[in-house]
Amino acid sequence: MEPDADGVWLGREQMPSTHFYQLGLDRAPALITAQEGLFNAVVSTEVIEHPYAPHLLPRFAWQCLKPGGLLIVTTHYHGNLTNLAFSVAGQWDHNHTALWHGGHIKFLSRATLTQLLEEEGFVAERFLGVGQLPLLWKSMI
């Protein structure tokens, strides 16, 4: 699923045997589920920090999943220690810039991602940090 027509075209060019749909989070996934059925898992990599209404991602995923299905989300990690390190290093403006069109508009910590997922019916089972040093991770899964 990709909201941008160019992204769908590129995906189809690179992987012609894979189904790609031009569909944003604000639409019900009935087109996908009617053709493909419900899924065992939905994977979202580095997406949830971009939409204005990030709750739409887990809501959309919930509608696509079989009972007991998994939602796997990755996003940039913004824990307290990471935010402090950005401030001390003078990188706050670079990391949180509002000048990057289409950039990150939401900054999630483990606590805020857990709350977001739980409000949409999910149970956050496990978190992993990846990249850089522990508690200064680049991303979380």
Q: E strand or H helix at 73, and its extent?
A: strand 65-76
**Domain regions of the chain by residue span:** 25-140
User: CB count, 10 Å around CB of 27?
Assistant: 15
Quote the CA–CA distance of 87 and 55 in Å, as a whole number.
28
The pTM of the full predicted model, rounded to 2 decimals, is 0.79
For the chain, percent of residues with pLDDT exceeding 70: 91
As separate numbers, helices (DSSP H) first and strands (DSSP E) second, the chain gives 6, 4
What's the gap between Cα 84 and its chain centre?
23
CATH of domain 25-140: 3.40.50.150
In this predicted model, what pLDDT tens digit does every residue of 33-83 receive, in sequence order?
777 778 899 999 989 988 889 999 999 999 989 999 999 999 987 776 776
